[in-house]
Amino acid sequence: MAYLLLILVLAVLVYVGWRITRAAANRPRTRVIGPDDDPDFLRRINPRDDQPRS
């Protein structure tokens, strides 16, 4: 009887760990905004009154 209880507890732990792993893998990633995604940054490094390069 003790072995059956032990196997049941181990099976539950494996199942819970598997579900947590799957939930973490499906979680949406946070988006990192880089300099090329920030219009204010682009305006600061490229003012409008600059002459275009030829």
52 domain-assigned? no
pLDDT, average across residues 9-31: 86
Question: Residue 53 has what pLDDT?
Answer: 59
Residue 22 lies in a domain: yes
Q: Which domain holds residue 29?
A: 2-45
> What CA–CA distance (Å, rounded) separates 48 from 50?
6
How many domains are contained in the chain? 1
Q: Looking at the domain assignment, is residue 19 inside a domain?
A: yes
Mean pLDDT, residues 7-30: 88
> Are 45 and 51 within 8 A, CB to CB?
no
Residue 54 reports pLDDT greater than 60? no
* In a domain? residue 21: yes
Establish if 29 belongs to a structural domain.
Answer: yes
Question: Is residue 31 a part of any domain in this protein?
Answer: yes
pLDDT per residue as tens digits for the range 23-50: 877 777 777 766 666 777 777 776 666 5
